[in-house]
Amino acid sequence: MFEFMRGAHSGRATQGRRVAGLTGAALLTAGLLAGCQVIPTRPAAEVPAPVAQPTAALPTDGGRHRVALLVPLQGSNAGAGQAIANAATMALLDNNADNLRITTYDTSAGAPNAAARAVADGNRLILGPLLGEDALAVAQTARAAHVPVISYSNNVAVAGQDVFVMGKIPGQSIGRVVQYAREKGAQRFAALIPVGTYGERASTAMLAAVRASGGVMVGMESYDRAGAAMPAAVRRLKGHGGFDAVLIADSARVAAIAAPLLSKADGSGPRILGTELWSGEAVVTRTPSLAGAYFAAASDTRFHHFADSYKARFGAAPFRIATLGYDSVLLTLRIAHDWQGNTSFPTARLYDRGGFLGVDGAFRFAADEVIERKLEVREVRAGGVGVVSAAAGKFGD
């Protein structure tokens, strides 16, 4: 399911949406972790204060590399964190791996403390955290200890100095869908952008994508998600003049509100463009005004097999974001073939231009240590979504 795209070495995400609930997954995970000789998360009451040297809580490993997994296991994001931890375990089981010891650290009580414990315990690589607000604190701690990080967040601001961002970057899905719309004849583009960090990144990406495609940016309007600001934003956008395609850089639920406002009385209107946030959202196909819309996302071709295997092991369907845990562990296992014991993680192997092929398709890390993914373009149709431009299976440069 996971392999190098070219050569012997290579390198490899926005918070995902839940496919179905997890029931009893924590207990099952603990059993699988124990059976695979992986150290399970320590309860919060037993967590020691950060110390300068590895603690005695973990046994000495002569033949296994220590890798830390930092995810939230309590609070509102606990389900996603547990799914990632389950998927990481599944990757070890699928490969009968006995050369890694993965220890899970709960970030819900504070990412800085979790990162400090991971470093103190002697881990040579950190996988996670999931949330963008935790990424900076983890990066600072890891850099000071010269421990590389493969972060699941999409906070590109933390990338660099051996901090690799693996999350799903909104700019990449925007660039892909704009280029496809341009190929299909769209010349004049517009955008509706939510206020906030995601919106700022989306607006920057949209301007760059339209410019790179040779199109014309007609107008861009922002709106506050907290208020009933969408109708006013649409009116302002229409005031800029006609446009062939408009990006709604938000969830499918918000797009379903905005799309009817963009339609003319006869039902015609600009082509609607969406982002990776639409992937797996049922409201997309239940909204007539979104018919014909394009959006780009990671391919689901391999995900269906992954989801079936996950459900068979853990008794419930996974969060879509769980693939980050699976692919990052398999990436580590691949590099571990040439990782000598008691040495630092060989981060140079992550830069292979040939890339890797994981559950979410082909990916690699660029020189700035931000992931590049091959994405597919989907079209919303009556009762479903169809792929109109498949994701490339490899990198050609």
Q: Give the pLDDT confidence score for residue 60 in this predicted structure.
A: 57
Q: Give the pLDDT confidence score for residue 228 in this predicted structure.
A: 80
What kind and span of H or E run contains 253? helix 252-262
Q: How many CB atoms lie within 10 A of CB 244?
A: 18
Answer yes or no: is 145 within a domain.
Answer: yes
Q: Give the pLDDT confidence score for residue 382 in this predicted structure.
A: 84
Residues 254, 260 contacting (CB under 8 angstroms): no
Q: Do 175 and 98 fall within a single domain?
A: no
Answer yes or no: is 370 within a domain.
Answer: no
Q: Give the pLDDT confidence score for residue 32 in this predicted structure.
A: 27
The full DSSP string for 26-45 is HHHHHHHHHHTT-PPPPPGG
Q: Give the pLDDT confidence score for residue 137 in this predicted structure.
A: 95
Q: Do 129 and 12 fall within a single domain?
A: yes
Number of domains the chain contains: 2
Q: Give the pLDDT confidence score for residue 37 in this predicted structure.
A: 26
State phi, psi for 198 to the nearest 5 degrees.
-60, -45
Sheet holding 188-194, edge to edge: 216-223, 188-194, 245-248, 271-274, 294-297, 376-381, 384-389
**CA 296, CA 208: separation in Å to the nearest integer?**
16
* Cis peptide, bond prior to residue 129, ω within 30 of zero: yes
The full DSSP string for 59-97 is PP-SS-EEEEEEE--SSTTHHHHHHHHHHHHHHHHHTT-
Q: Do 157 and 14 fall within a single domain?
A: yes
Answer yes or no: is 130 within a domain.
Answer: yes
Q: Give the pLDDT confidence score for residue 47 in this predicted structure.
A: 29
Residues 334, 12 contacting (CB under 8 angstroms): no
Average pLDDT for runs of 10 along the chain of length 397:
39 33 30 27 30 44 86 96 98 94 96 97 96 94 97 94 94 97 98 95 97 98 88 96 97 95 85 95 93 96 96 96 97 90 91 93 96 98 93 89
CB neighbours of 394 closer than 8 A, spacing ≥ 6? 5, 6, 354, 355, 357, 362, 374
Q: Give the pLDDT confidence score for residue 225 in this predicted structure.
A: 85
Residue 202 class from Cβ within 10 Å (0-12 exposed, 13-18 middle, 19+ buried)?
Answer: buried
Answer yes or no: is 29 within a domain.
Answer: yes
Q: Do 34 and 182 fall within a single domain?
A: no
Q: Do 293 and 304 fall within a single domain?
A: no
Q: For residue 354, what are its two tokens?
A: 């040939």
Question: Which residues in 121-148 are b (16+ Cβ under 10 Å) and which e?
Answer: bbbbbbbbbbbbebbbbbbebbbeeebb
Residues 220, 141 contacting (CB under 8 angstroms): no
Specify the amino acid at residue 164. Answer: F
State phi, psi for 395 to the nearest 5 degrees.
-95, 135
Q: Give the pLDDT confidence score for residue 164 in this predicted structure.
A: 98
Residues 316, 22 contacting (CB under 8 angstroms): yes
Q: Do 306 and 188 fall within a single domain?
A: no
Answer yes or no: is 394 within a domain.
Answer: no
Answer yes or no: is 128 within a domain.
Answer: yes
Q: Do 96 and 223 fall within a single domain?
A: no
Q: Do 324 and 240 fall within a single domain?
A: no
- The CATH number of residue 233's host domain is 3.40.50.2300
Q: Do 86 and 193 fall within a single domain?
A: no
Q: For residue 78, what are its two tokens?
A: 């606990």
Which range of residues forms the domain containing residue 115?
3-167+300-365
Q: For residue 157, what are its two tokens?
A: 């601001």
Q: Do 27 and 158 fall within a single domain?
A: yes
Can you say how many angstroms the Cα of residue 102 is from the centroid of all Cα atoms in its chain?
20
Q: Do 18 and 161 fall within a single domain?
A: yes
Q: Do 196 and 273 fall within a single domain?
A: yes
Q: Give the pLDDT confidence score for residue 9 in this predicted structure.
A: 34
Q: Give the pLDDT confidence score for residue 62 in this predicted structure.
A: 61
